[in-house]
Amino acid sequence: MSVSLHYRASRAVPLTAAEASAVERVTAARSSSFPYRDEEGLHLYGNGGGEPDGIVAGSTRVPLDPDRALPVIAHVLDSVTELRRALPGAEWHVHVDDLDVPWDEDGGYDLPGLRDAGPTGSGAMARPPRG
């Protein structure tokens, strides 16, 4: 049994060239900082996931090992937060299987307790500074 994090954005207006470049920049930067080369990170589907008015869509399979799952979820949620901030006016839906992930204007996407000290007590999942 696997758990997946799903994310999608839609709006009536397609991506501008500048927004498409911003999506590419965020995706490249977040991919290079992903903590595990052997796990799935931010994964965007082409063509907005094929949904009407879809501009960005994707999913990430979450590792079963909690020591890896929590950092993966935190990293991907931070990535989706950056994408949302780069694409104004879009309607976003982010969820882990059937659980909606709440949006906070200041903090972005997060789950309760996710950013507490990590499984090893390292606190390594602290949110990066808002830029």
The pLDDT tens digits for 62-106 are 999 988 999 999 999 999 999 999 998 999 999 998 899 999 999
Kindly tell me if the per-residue pLDDT of 48 is higher than 60. yes
Give the pLDDT of residue 46: 85
Instruction: Tell the burial category of 123 from Cβ atoms under 10 Å away from its Cβ (0-12, 13-18, 19+).
Output: exposed
Torsion angle of alpha carbons 123, 127, 129, 130, nearest 10°?
-170
Cβ contact 95:112 at 8 Å:
no
CA distance 58 to 70: 19
**87: number of Cβ within 10 Å:** 20
Residues in the chain: 131
Q: What is the CA radius of gyration of the chain?
A: 14
Q: Which tokens sit at 1? A: 């049994």
Give the pLDDT of residue 120: 45
